Structure formats: C-alpha cells, structure tokens
C-alpha cells in the first residue's frame, strides 16, 4: 500500500520532455502505476458479486481526489467460492488526475492533456497487423464455449443489491460494412447467457450507424469486445472522435508508435495483439431484448428502461492471454472514474470551443463539477474584454449540446472554478439574481429524474424538454480590495509558519489581499501608516473632519464585520 | 504543537453529562484549550503590525475547519521592536466548532449548542458584585494615561497593507440611563489617539438606544470595553439577545454560576472581576468622526465608509491584570472566527424560526455556508409533509431578515446541507430552473459590492435594494434508488478496507444506496439474482420479452453511464 512515490515526479518530468514510456500492454502500465504509488494491490480473496466493487466505491466516497488510486485484485472468487485463473483491475484509467496523466503519459494539468489529445488527433499513427499475439494464447470456442461461456470471466457486480446486470465496459469494435473502416467505442456489453450479450447502443453513435448499415443489407454485424488493451486504445475508445477516424490510429498517435493488431479468430475484425481478453461475436440487427435497471452517472438507477431495447450479440469465441486481467471501470454515483474522464474531456472541449470557435479570447478554463456527474454544473472562468463577454460565454456554453448542462456560471480570473467554496463566494458577492440570472429553455435530458415523473411526459417531438440557469457572477465594476493582508505580509507569515513547525497547509485562493480597482492613494497612505504603528497620525487626519451634531446623530447604517 | 488530545473526548463526555468545568477566567480556559490540543502557542517574538494576524489568517486559508485552533502569542513586539508586558490571543472563541464547543462547554453539535443557549436565556443567573478583582491589579489614569495611553496595549493590525485602523473587538458595555440596565455588545472600538476611540455603532442596536437616550438628556454616556473576560461573557456579548436582557446574567446561565463583577474606577458600570483588561471612558453623543476603510466579512474592504460617522469616546482609565492577555477575534474574508460564530448562531435561529414559529415541522437543519460569509447562502434541509413545504420554508427564510441571504436552497433529508458537493448534486438532479426557481425583490444590502457601483445609487427610501434567488431542490416525486451498492455490501467492504490496511476514510453521505420510491419487486428480485451470480436466469426472463424488428430498430435514445 505504498503512497505516491518520488517516481511520479520523475515520470512527469519525463513526459514533459516529450519522451514516452510506451506501455506495450496493460501489465506494463499497471507495473508503472504500482511503482508510482498509484495502485492498490489486493492479494486476499475477494468475492466479485458482493465485495469487489463496494471496496473500490469506498475510495470515491471517502478519499480526496488526489489520494485515489487504481485497484488490482489478484485473487478473485465468485459467490460460491469458485476461483478464477484471472485477475481484475478497476479505476486504472482515471481514478484521479494523476492516474489519468500517467496513463496518457503527460503532465497532470488540463492544458498538457488537451495538447496531447490535439496532437494525437492531428497526427494519427495507423496500426500494423501482426500474425500472432498474446491475446490468442487461449482460444475458447465450440462446446467449450457452450458449456460455461462467459462465466469464465470474473465480471464483478457493480452495485450489489441494485444492479440487475453485469457488463463489459471497455472498447466495443465494429466496422462499417460499406467502407470497411473499424470503430472502437465504449459501449456496455450486458452478459445474460453463456453466449448472449445485449449491446447497449444508442442512436447517433458510430456503432449505431454500423448496425443500421448491416440491417439495411440483411447482414449480421461482426463485433469484438476488447478488454484490457494498452491504455492508449482505451482512452481513444472512450473519446468521442469524429466518425471515420480510426481509434486505433489515434491510440497510435497517443503512444507515438503503431498499435500492433491481430485478426480475430471467428469474425473479420482487427484487435490489439496485446489485449488481455477479446470476446468475438455477431450482432443480430433484427433481434432485441429489454434491459433491466442499471446504475447511472446521475447518482440514480436508470429504471423504466425496459422500453430501451438492445440488439442481441451471439458470442462465437473468447480469446485471451494466460491468466488474463479483466479490466473494468467504475461509474454511477459521482465522483467516479467516468465522471473524472468526462470532466477532463468536457473541460478541454468547452474551453477550446468558447475561446477558439466562439472567439471569446478571455476564456481561461471551463470546469464541470464531478458532483454534478461532470454534466450539470459548468463554471466558466474568463477575463472580460467586453462587459458582456460573460453572457456570450454563457449562451454559447449552454447551446453547445442540448443535453449537457443545467447550471452555467461565469466567474472572474481570481475565482477558482473547480473549488465550490470559491464559486459560492463569487455567487454571494458578485451577482444580483434579478439582474445577472437568466433561465432558458430548449434543453433536453434523457436521464435527469427531475425532468418528469417516472415514465412521465415527453413533448410532442418525443423528448423530455428541460431548462438551464445562466449566472453571470463576474464583477460589473471596480471592487474594493479583498479583505486579506497584502501579499508581502502573508509570504512573511508563511515563512514564520514553517519555522515554528505549524501543521502543513493546503492554501486556497485567494490567500492574500489584492486590489480590484476601488482604492485610493489616501487609503494606501493610511494603510501604510497603520503598519508603521502610526494610528495616532491617522487619527489626526480624522479629527480634521470631526462633526458636531446637537441631537446625537445615531451612527451609521452599516453592519458589523 | 500538540494535535487534538484524548482529553477532548473526555471533555465532551463530561459536558454531555451536564457537568461544567466553569472557567474562572480566560487563563483557565486557555489552559483547557491547550490541554485539549486546540491551541497553538507561539513563543517566538511576533510583530503585532505585520506578522501576527497574517499568521493566524494562514490557518483559515490553508487548514480544514476541523484542524483549526486558537492562537496564543507569548512574546509580542511592535514594528519598532518595543516589547509588551502582555500577551495576545486570537481565534480562541470559535476558530472551529471544537473550539466553540469547549468554550461553551457542550458537545460539538448544533442541537446541543442550541439547547445550551436556550437554557441560559430561559434561566439567567444574575452577576454578583465583589469589592476587588484581578482586573484592578494595574490602574492607568491621569498623566500616565495621557503619555502613552492606549499604545500600552499590543493591538494587532488585522490586514496589514489594507487595514486603516486598529481596534478592540470584544464586549462594549454601556447602560440605559433611564432604567440603569447594562448592555454588553460586540462593537469595534477604533483606536486613533492616546485617549481617543471611535465607537462603531449602528442604528437599531442596543448600544445605539443607550446613546440616543444619553443625547436626549444632554449627558455623556459611560462606557467600558471588556477585553478577555471569561468566555461566557464573550459569547453572550456576541449573541443578539433581546433588549433589556443582561448579557452578564445570560453568561452566568451559560457558566451555571454567577459572574463576579466589580465597579469601574472612573465610570458607573460593572465589569467582570476576572477580565484581563478594561478600557473605561465616556462617549460624547454630539461629537462624530469618519472612519477609514476596514475589512468586512464579505471578503472585501469596506470603502467609501467616510460617510459613516462614529461617536468619539474619551478614555478615562485603563485597568488590567498584571501581564494581561489582549484578546481579539479574526474576521474579514470568510471563513474566519466571525463567520463560524455567525454560522452556528444563524443556523440555530433559522431552524427554530422555521420549525417552531412558522410551524414547518419537517425542517431539520439550516446551514449558512461560511464561504458566503455565513450570510448569503442558506441551505434548508427538510422532510416535506406537504409538497409545498419547501416553498413555505424558502419564503419564510428569505423574509426573516431583509438584509440576510441571497441564495436560499431547500433540500431533502438525504442531502448534507453543509457539504457543497451534496448541494450541487441536489441542484443537478432534483430541480428544473424554469419550474423550481423564483427570484424575489425586497431585500436590502449594506455591504454587498454587487448591489451598486462604488458610491452608487440608493433607492428613494435611502437603502440599496437587492434580490434573492429561491431554489426548491427537493424531489417532486418518487425517485429511483441511488446508484450505489446496498448498505450491507458497503459495510462489508468497509470491514475488508480496514482489514487490508487501506488509507483512512472520511466517508461522505450518501455512501450506500437507498430506495427513493421508484423501484419494483421484480427489480428487487433481479438484483438479488445478480448478487447470487445468476445473471443467466435474469437473461431467461429477458428472452421471453425478445422482439424481432425487421428493419433494425436502432437502439435506445438513452445516454451512457
């Protein structure tokens, strides 16, 4: 149970210099995570149905973001005591920003992460096909498959007591039967029989286009679920890349070297040679089954989803490495691995959109709060060049995607958009509700339980219309300085604080006073006299302004500090 | 630099059993704080103008609330190197809820604190007059006073670089010249000459009534500033008690024994015999001087306050103990000692008002957030008996005081009203802006810089009208269960977590799943089968509902988890 190691800082310096470690496979990557102190390795037996995910969940309800790590379970059993010749890892892609950064091989800050992505998309590196790969060390087909089927894999139950399914959560590979171009997307594969998987696929996704094209031609759709590929493949599969852009090539761009791929045994698809497990099969575009409740990123179970039908995939083979590692992600109630991944992605996308596409040059940072599922609360930090820049930013952000965002808040550059307390401070003293708030319609939500009662109304067009609130919490005119000591005095205090051995500090912005425009030379002089112990001199100035009032004036109407 | 000690838990058990320690004086109390690990004692020389307050400020910008402590400075010097035969303490009344609770002698939870106050107000214990007290060990009068005057006291500068004053911040004693009843209030006494103090007094306060009555009779008003009395006196002086209720008697009620008081040397007032320092003097109700900028609880300097005139107090004597302790509080940028004190007080007052006076029986807890100065953001936790209880609570809370509160949010009982992330979660998925938000006018603000530009407009009636936003973030109908594992599995995981020695957790609510009404027996059955590893059986149920669609259906319109 090592804590973060000095290696981590070395790694970041290494990444910063543009060098890459290039993890050959998941095992390579996990070894690095462990050395960097970012992996909890659990040796004792853990029951996959009842113990495994609750254990990982605890860290998301009880540890600070910076203390969260990936988990590797070496000894997984099922509820009957059955052992698996396999291991399970969870949270290794984005349990924290540190984990995400080590996986992506870049410094743990949003601008480095965004830059890394931009480069990989601009300069993809196509995969190379090889004849053999470790993923074919074990091949399960025919009667072998029929007998126990998918139960060979130690797939954990995510929310014991509420989950009505188990599932795969990583890359799902299909291809366009017309162009032959493959797509890797992050879709759930819900396991409901030795060879039966329901594919949770949504209109508008690339996989859906593949399904439609196969249906139109009366064909079955080849599919392969890749579990535990090199991390690059998994980050690329989770990103919403443009249609027709091969995720394996973007993964190669991230890795700085081509991803080696092998041809599947029973379907005509290429998969990473160094994957841990691949489930091959064929999706029947005419056969659908309802899905029972599952956990959502909103923090609630998705119920009433029986109306959401999923096409059936028939498994034709399972190929894997010897003693494979089953990898999954932890989602549902935020914060989670999926909310962290979305937070990073949305923050980058919205910042670039507002600054570069909408030309609001002063936009510095956009933060989606994980407590909102990295979905509903969006805080935009900007430096206004024009007094109404904040409103341009709010309107554009709210309009970017009809289904993303309920609360949009614009703040100044001295407010930390990621810190709820800092945002509360801005809301408290930099906006007036009657003047600086607008409520807008024209948003849509599939999952927000506040939209309509269970099974409730959709509008004429068949969707659930919801609303958003836009708040301009930026200063509208010069403000007095913040009521903190000036920087020089706080720095001096920090020196003394350390000298006398007081407890370690995690300073929050703002931690020293600064001028926001409404301050005069006379005040500056008074304040200087006060630090020199010359308050009697200030008193002499005040005496010149003494007023005599016959009947007693009665004090100010101010409140107390 | 001890951390919190085991003594603290003993103290809380002791308080719970109804016993009292009864601190005779500030020294007694500080010794207890130190033993309980709630006092930082600084031995090295500290400059009162430039170093002292910045050092204390660091803890409010860099330590978690539960790690904050009081400070005692044993060796205070001024900016010229002059030593004082006195010490200084700051933050000893309410640097944290622990400090507050030890001072008030009750358990560190809001209901115990509220109960303690209610009892003290119901059963006040009048003070007893004694002939001599330690506060008269040293008496400075006449030419002694004229020479150096108030500069004998080591009064620190609060915000070096911005503060344009130094001040006393504790109990200010005056009396009603008509009835003879004393009042102790927390008012600033601003030091601007060897014998000159400006009294920052506001219309509507009890002290103001005393001043007016003296003015009407053409009299000077006797005043005494009590510094470092027993903690009970200071808590009582800071509470907004009804007019005519003697704060010393309420202090006696808190202490469970009468406060011993002595008559002042030069004015006709009684002060605690065990005070550290008393400044005696006479307020001239006809003489006023303007006050220069000072720091406010909003997080900004109060500027343009020259129009706020203060009556002049002429000091007639300083009496004190040998080597007295000058006590002050830390306020301004929240969180601070004053925002903690306000948070506790407002929370208790609003809860009682809504539940008992407005008869909204389901109100559980009202929390003012410190980041809003314990003033602007008010979260009301309630169990609705009627669907519109949340609106009754919001309207009543917003109307309680015209100048308190800008954002009022109603939440359900499973939301932690004190945790910003929990409130963000409620705002994200339990309200719709167009349906559940109202913006109301008729509020007033003296200090909110967002109200008008500096020196800006007041309305016809002479005040600055502002607005508030009311948000009903409670559930409007049954919700699906939260997407977390059921309690039994999380408890089991907690056991394993500890067994394998993972890092210590600070669990946030909710940390296990619970049913919110929209859940069926069939779902319950499915979820049970899944925990038993019987997902193939669930699959058989789904198969019965299989649908064949010729042209390919195209998946659900849901989003991904």
| DSSP 8-state symbol, A161 | T
A308 contacts in chain B (CB < 8 Å): 555-558
Measured in angstroms, the CA of B133 and the nearest CA of chain A are apart by 31
* B274 and B373 in a common domain: no
CB atoms within 10 A of CB A422: 20
Mean pLDDT of B226-254: 90
**What percent of chain B shows pLDDT beyond 70?**
96
* A369 and A223 in a common domain: no
State the virtual CA torsion across A476, A480, A483, A489 in degrees, nearest 10: 120
The reported pLDDT for the residue numbered B560 is 37
User: For the sheet containing B407-411, what is the strand order?
Assistant: B363-368, B377-382, B407-411, B465-472, B437-444
Beta bridge partners of A288: A311, B547
Q: Residue A428 is nearest to which of B79, B193, B406, comparing CB atoms? A: B406
Determine the 3-state secondary structure of B404 from DSSP.
Answer: coil
Q: What is the pLDDT of residues B151-180, one digit of tens each?
A: 999 999 999 999 999 999 889 999 999 999
Q: Residue B192 is nearest to which of A165, A516, A536, comparing CB atoms? A: A536
**Inter-chain contact B202–A556, Cβ cutoff 8 Å?**
yes
Closest-CA residue to B246 (of B125, B131, B118): B125
**Inter-chain contact A454–B488, Cβ cutoff 8 Å?**
no
CB B93 within 8 A of CB B337: yes
Measured in angstroms, the CA of A262 and the nearest CA of chain B are apart by 29
* A234 and A138 in a common domain: yes
Q: Is residue B300 part of a domain?
A: yes
pTM beyond 0.90: the answer is: yes
Q: Residue B309 is nearest to which of A377, A492, A553, comparing CB atoms? A: A553
A54 contacts in chain B (CB < 8 Å): 485, 489-490, 492-493
> Does B561 score more than 50 pLDDT?
no
**Contacts of A461 by beta carbon, 8 Å cutoff, 6+ apart:** none
CB atoms within 10 A of CB A338: 24
Q: Residue A62 is nearest to which of B191, B208, B507, comparing CB atoms? A: B507
Closest-CA residue to B229 (of B221, B237, B220, B219): B237
Q: Scanning every residue of chain A, which has its alpha carbon at the shortest distance from the alpha carbon of B49?
A: A531
Domain-ending residue, one of A328, A362, A393: A328
Determine the 3-state secondary structure of A86 from DSSP.
Answer: coil
CB A286 within 8 A of CB B552: yes
Cα dihedral across residues A548, A549, A552, A554: positive or negative: negative
A188 contacts in chain B (CB < 8 Å): 560-561
* A397 and A516 in a common domain: no
Mean pLDDT of B174-200: 93
The reported pLDDT for the residue numbered A241 is 78
**Inter-chain contact B535–A198, Cβ cutoff 8 Å?**
no
| DSSP 8-state symbol, B523 | H
Burial of A402 (0-12, 13-18, 19+ CB in 10 A): middle
Distance CA A214, CA A179 (A): 12
A434 contacts in chain B (CB < 8 Å): 439, 441, 467
**Inter-chain contact A310–B556, Cβ cutoff 8 Å?**
yes
Q: What are phi and psi of B354, to 5 degrees?
A: -65, -40
Measured in angstroms, the CA of A17 and the nearest CA of chain B are apart by 32
A433 contacts in chain B (CB < 8 Å): 406-407, 439, 467-469
CA distances from A33 to A234, A259, A273, B386, B512 (A): 16, 21, 22, 53, 28
* B341 and B322 in a common domain: no
**Inter-chain contact A309–B533, Cβ cutoff 8 Å?**
no
A97-104 and A26-35 are packed helices; what angle lies between their axes, rounded to 10 degrees?
Answer: 130
Report helix, strand and coil shares of chain A as percent, to nearest 5: 35, 25, 45
| pLDDT greater at residue A71 or residue B121 | A71
Task: Give Cα A349 distance to the centre of its chain.
Answer: 12
The reported pLDDT for the residue numbered A307 is 63
The helix (H) or strand (E) run that includes residue B42 is: strand B39-42
A331 contacts in chain B (CB < 8 Å): 561
Q: Residue A538 is nearest to which of B292, B295, B338, comparing CB atoms? A: B292
* A162 and A19 in a common domain: yes
> Does B34 score more than 70 pLDDT?
yes
Q: For residues A72-92, b (16+ Cβ closer than 10 Å) or e, as one string?
A: bbeebbbbeeeebebbbbbbb
The reported pLDDT for the residue numbered A427 is 98
Phi-psi sector, A542: left (phi>0), alpha (psi -120 to 50), beta: alpha
* B122 and B12 in a common domain: yes
CB B290 within 8 A of CB A545: yes
Phi-psi sector, A105: left (phi>0), alpha (psi -120 to 50), beta: left
Beta bridge partners of B263: B270
3-state SS of B328-397?
A: ECCCCCCCCHHHHHHHHHHHHHHHHHHHHHCCCCCEEEEEECHHHCCCCEEEEEECCCCCCHHHHHHHHH
Size of interface A-B (CB pairs under 8 A): 643
| DSSP 8-state symbol, B530 | H
Distance CA B192, CA A211 (A): 82
Distance CA B28, CA B321 (A): 14
* B445 and B302 in a common domain: no
Mean pLDDT of B434-457: 89
**Inter-chain contact B493–A211, Cβ cutoff 8 Å?**
no
Q: Is residue B561 part of a domain?
A: no
CB atoms within 10 A of CB A369: 29
Q: Is residue B54 part of a domain?
A: yes
Q: DSSP string covering A461-508, please?
A: TSS-EEEEEEEE-S-SS-BPPBSS-BHHHHHHHHHHHHHTTPPPP-PP
Q: Is residue A552 part of a domain?
A: no
The reported pLDDT for the residue numbered B2 is 46
Q: Residue B303 is nearest to which of A333, A485, A523, comparing CB atoms? A: A523
Measured in angstroms, the CA of A120 and the nearest CA of chain B are apart by 25
* A76 and A198 in a common domain: yes
Measured in angstroms, the CA of A431 and the nearest CA of chain B are apart by 6
Distance CA B87, CA B83 (A): 10
* B347 and B235 in a common domain: no
Strand duo A309-320 + A138-140: pairing: antiparallel
* B370 and B293 in a common domain: no
> Does B558 score more than 60 pLDDT?
no
Q: Scanning every residue of chain B, which has its alpha carbon at the shortest distance from the alpha carbon of A506?
A: B62
* Of the candidate ranges B72-81, B354-363, B456-465, the one whose mean pLDDT is the lowest: B456-465
Q: Residue B194 is nearest to which of A494, A536, A557, comparing CB atoms? A: A536
Q: Is residue B1 part of a domain?
A: no
Distance CA B257, CA B131 (A): 18
Measured in angstroms, the CA of A342 and the nearest CA of chain B are apart by 11
* A118 and A174 in a common domain: yes
> How far apart, in Å, do the first and last CA atoms of chain B sit?
47
Mean pLDDT, chain B, integer: 92
Q: DSSP string covering A218-274, please?
A: T--EEEEEEES--HHHHHHHHS-PPTT--HHHHHHHHHTSPPEEEE-SSSS-EEETT
Q: Is residue B377 part of a domain?
A: yes
Q: Is residue B482 part of a domain?
A: no
A51 contacts in chain B (CB < 8 Å): 489, 492-493, 496
The helix (H) or strand (E) run that includes residue A345 is: helix A337-352
**Inter-chain contact B61–A511, Cβ cutoff 8 Å?**
yes
Q: How many domains does chain B have?
A: 3
pLDDT tens by residue, chain A, 561 residues: 446 788 888 889 888 887 777 899 999 999 999 999 999 999 999 999 999 999 999 999 999 999 999 999 999 999 999 999 999 999 999 999 999 999 999 999 888 998 899 899 999 999 999 999 999 999 999 999 998 899 999 999 999 999 999 999 889 999 999 999 999 988 999 999 999 999 998 877 889 999 999 999 999 999 999 999 999 999 998 887 778 888 999 999 999 999 999 999 999 999 999 999 999 999 999 999 998 999 999 999 988 755 678 999 999 999 999 999 999 999 999 999 999 999 998 999 999 999 999 999 999 999 999 999 999 999 999 999 999 999 999 999 999 999 999 999 999 999 999 999 999 999 999 999 999 999 999 999 888 999 988 776 677 677 788 999 999 999 999 999 999 999 999 999 999 999 999 999 999 989 999 999 999 999 999 999 999 999 999 999 999 999 998 765 544 433 333
Domain-ending residue, one of B428, B444, B472: B472
State the virtual CA torsion across B405, B411, B417, B422 in degrees, nearest 10: -120
Closest-CA residue to B198 (of B305, B83, B355, B342): B305
CB A467 within 8 A of CB A443: yes
A interface test, pick of B46, B75, B164 with most A CB neighbours within 10 Å: B164
Q: Residue A552 is nearest to which of B211, B292, B437, comparing CB atoms? A: B211
Measured in angstroms, the CA of B264 and the nearest CA of chain A are apart by 25
Distance CA B79, CA B84 (A): 12
Q: Scanning every residue of chain B, which has its alpha carbon at the shortest distance from the alpha carbon of A307?
A: B556
- pLDDT tier at B7 (50, 70, 90 boundaries)? confident
Burial of B399 (0-12, 13-18, 19+ CB in 10 A): middle
Q: Scanning every residue of chain A, which has its alpha carbon at the shortest distance from the alpha carbon of B206?
A: A554
The reported pLDDT for the residue numbered A557 is 39
Provide the residue range defining the domain that includes B498. Answer: 487-543
Distance CA B1, CA B369 (A): 29
Q: Is residue B90 part of a domain?
A: yes
Determine the 3-state secondary structure of B536 from DSSP.
Answer: helix
Q: Scanning every residue of chain A, which has its alpha carbon at the shortest distance from the alpha carbon of B543?
A: A289
> How far apart, in Å, do the first and last CA atoms of chain A sit?
47
Domain-ending residue, one of B328, B353, B387: B328
| pLDDT greater at residue B146 or residue B73 | B73
CB B246 within 8 A of CB B122: no
Distance CA B241, CA B257 (A): 19
Q: What is the pLDDT of residues B307-331, one digit of tens each?
A: 678 999 999 999 999 999 999 999 9
CB A281 within 8 A of CB A315: yes
Residue A110 sits in a domain of what CATH number? 2.30.110.10
**Inter-chain contact B211–A40, Cβ cutoff 8 Å?**
no
Determine the 3-state secondary structure of A441 from DSSP.
Answer: strand
Residue B464 sits in a domain of what CATH number? 3.40.1670.10
A interface test, pick of B160, B217, B334, B545 with most A CB neighbours within 10 Å: B160
A110-122 and A97-104 are packed helices; what angle lies between their axes, rounded to 10 degrees?
Answer: 30
**Inter-chain contact A526–B186, Cβ cutoff 8 Å?**
no
């Amino acid at each position: 149970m090592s804590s973060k190691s000095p290696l981590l800082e070395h790694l970041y310096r290494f990444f910063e210099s543009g060098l890459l470690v290039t993890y050959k496979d998941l095992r390579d990557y996990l070894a690095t995570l462990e050395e960097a102190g970012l992996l909890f390795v659990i040796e004792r037996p853990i029951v996959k149905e009842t113990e495994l995910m609750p254990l990982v969940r605890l860290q998301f309800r009880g540890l600070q973001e910076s203390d969260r790590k990936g988990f590797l379970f070496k000894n997984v059993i099922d509820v009957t005591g059955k052992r698996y010749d396999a291991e399970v890892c969870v949270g290794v892609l984005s349990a924290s920003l540190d984990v995400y950064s080590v996986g992506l091989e870049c410094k743990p800050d949003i601008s480095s992460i965004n830059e890394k992505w931009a480069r990989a998309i601009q300069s993809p590196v196509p995969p190379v096909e090889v004849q053999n790969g470790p993923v074919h060390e074990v091949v399960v087909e025919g009667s072998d498959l029929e007998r126990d089927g998918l139960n060979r894999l130690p797939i954990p139950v995510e929310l014991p007591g509420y989950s009505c399914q188990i599932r795969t959560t990583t890359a799902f590979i299909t291809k366009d039967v017309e162009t032959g171009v493959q797509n890797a997307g992050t879709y759930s594969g819900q396991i409901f029989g030795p060879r039966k998987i329901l594919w949770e696929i949504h209109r508008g996704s690339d996989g859906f286009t593949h399904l439609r094209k196969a249906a139109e031609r009366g064909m079955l759709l080849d599919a392969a679920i890749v579990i535990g590929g090199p991390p690059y493949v998994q980050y690329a599969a989770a990103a919403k890349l443009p249609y027709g852009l091969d995720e394996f090539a973007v993964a190669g761009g991230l890795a700085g070297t081509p991803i080696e791929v092998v041809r599947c045994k029973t379907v005509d698809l290429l998969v990473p040679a160094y994957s841990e497990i691949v489930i091959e099969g064929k999706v029947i575009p005419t056969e659908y089954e309802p899905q029972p409740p599952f956990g959502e990123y909103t923090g609630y179970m998705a119920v009433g989803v029986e109306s959401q039908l999923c096409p059936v995939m028939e498994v034709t083979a399972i190929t894997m490495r010897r003693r494979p590692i089953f990898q999954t992600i932890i989602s549902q109630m935020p914060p989670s691995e999926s909310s962290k991944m979305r937070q990073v992605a949305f923050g980058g996308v919205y910042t670039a959109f507002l600054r570069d596409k909408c030309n609001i040059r002063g936009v510095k940072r956009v933060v989606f709060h994980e407590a909102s599922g990295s979905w509903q609360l969006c805080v935009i930090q900007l430096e206004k060049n024009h007094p109404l820049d904040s409103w341009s930013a709010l309107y554009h952000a709210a309009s970017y995607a009809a289904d993303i965002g309920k609360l949009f808040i614009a703040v100044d550059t001295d407010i930390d958009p990621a810190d709820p307390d800092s945002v509360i401070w801005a809301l408290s003293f930099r906006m007036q509700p009657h003047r600086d708030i607008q409520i807008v319609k024209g948003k849509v939500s599939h999952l927000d339980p506040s939209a309509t009662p269970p099974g409730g109304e959709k509008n004429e067009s068949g969707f659930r219309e919801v609303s958003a609130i836009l708040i301009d919490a930026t200063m509208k005119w010069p403000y007095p300085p913040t009521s903190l000591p000036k920087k020089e005095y706080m720095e001096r205090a920090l020196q003394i604080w350390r000298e006398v051995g007081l407890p370690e500090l995690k300073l929050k912005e703002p931690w020293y006073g600064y001028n926001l425009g409404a301050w005069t030379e006379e005040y500056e002089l008074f304040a200087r006299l006060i630090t020199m112990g010359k308050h009697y001199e200030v008193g002499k100035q005040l005496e010149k302004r003494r007023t005599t009032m016959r009947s007693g004036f009665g004090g100010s109407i101010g409140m107390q500090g």
